[in-house]
Structure 1
Amino acid sequence: MAVFDFELIDSSLDGQMLGENAGEQARLATMAPQLREAIARIGGYEVVETEAVREKARSHHLESCGNCALSFAKEVGAEIAVIGSVQKVSNLILNINAYAFDAETGRPIARGSADIRSNTEESWQRGIDYLWDNVLKKQFEAAR
């Protein structure tokens, strides 16, 4: 399984006016590693390193690039591609999304979303924890 770095979709006025926020980027960088660790803990999946395709993946918007994540997953020897994003509507309204697909067929394996309120380290952590514990974990366990 290849778990790619999460992407920030910032449609907020704050983002348009101030540009990239270092705190958000730091929090964003923690999302994929946390998901990789959680997936590895349930067993039945081997999480592979994505470093070889990291720059290619970062140069695409993985949620809308025409299944390029599936190709990148196959390049690193993975059978499943996992992508994610944090959508920032404002500093009060954010949404964490994650999707897993069979790299060969594109068939969805797991998907989920968690709304969070406030743009803090604590709210992001609670959001990814909720998404894993209450949505994704059950789907990954069922798909093993």
Structure 2
Amino acid sequence: MKRGTRWSRRRRLLALAASLLLSPLAGGAADAPLKSIVMLDFELIDPTLDRASDEAQRERLKRISALLRQQFIDKGFYRVLDTAPQQAMIDDLKSRFMLYDCNGCDIDIGRALGADRVMTAWVQKVSNLILNINIQINDVASGQPLLNKSVDIRGNTDTSWERGIRYMVRSMEEKRQGNR
């Protein structure tokens, strides 16, 4: 057997052994049990005083909240918890605060539901042409933010809002930002 062939085989065996040893480390979060998350509905920041599109925007907020929940479930990002057991608490807090900016009330909701994580979400409308979709995922135990995502969209339409959610989810998937 030629010396070059032997070294080539040895290198291949070493590479195979290294890949087998390192593969559990590469999986990391993907192999970890799914963390639970409370996903609060999207809220709207609209300083434009354009009341003509209020009803359509309320419907879009509901639609993208449901779409994002389903995408998190489908992609296996988190184990999404039902908020119904604490809906009265959520409704009371929403009547007094914007949940994305309520000085920790989102963490209280997460604790009440026994979640690992809590997500707040909002759409900021600059105009009917310029909007951005935002989410923040916080650790319930520490109250610290773990992930902030923002997507700018153009156009105040069902299609643009849904496209923004799909883009955000695709970005999270590509960057492996689920189950943090």
TM range (shorter): 0.7 to 0.9
Whole-angstrom CA distance in 2 between matches of 1:127 and 1:115: 7
* Cross-structure match for 1:64: 101
CA deviation after TM superposition for structure 1 residue 68, in Å = 0.7
Whole-angstrom CA distance in 2 between matches of 1:27 and 1:38: 16
Moved more, 108-117 or 32-41: 32-41
TM-score by length of 1: 0.87
The alignment status of 1:3 with 2:39, answered yes or no, reads yes
Indicate conservation of the 8 Å contact 1:73/1:81, yes or no: yes
Runs in 1 of length 4+ with deviation above 6 angstroms? none
The alignment status of 1:12 with 2:12, answered yes or no, reads no
Higher Rg: 2
- Among 69, 73, 76, the alignment partner of 1:43 is 76
- Among 120, 137, 140, the alignment partner of 2:157 is 120
Whole-angstrom CA distance in 2 between matches of 1:57 and 1:35: 22
Normalized per residue, which structure has more helix?
2
Q: Which runs of 5+ in 1 are unaligned?
A: none
- Among 145, 151, 156, the alignment partner of 1:108 is 145
CA deviation after TM superposition for structure 1 residue 142, in Å = 6.4
1:67-110 Cα distance to aligned partner (Å, 9 max, x none) = 11011111112110001000111101111000100011012222
Indicate conservation of the 8 Å contact 1:109/1:139, yes or no: no
CA deviation after TM superposition for structure 1 residue 29, in Å = 0.5
Whole-angstrom CA distance in 2 between matches of 1:25 and 1:19: 12
TM-score by length of 2: 0.71
Count, aligned residues: 139
Q: Which runs of 5+ in 2 are unaligned?
A: 1-36
Whole-angstrom CA distance in 1 between matches of 2:77 and 2:48: 39
Whole-angstrom CA distance in 2 between matches of 1:141 and 1:46: 10
CA deviation after TM superposition for structure 1 residue 12, in Å = 1.2
CA deviation after TM superposition for structure 1 residue 40, in Å = 1.5
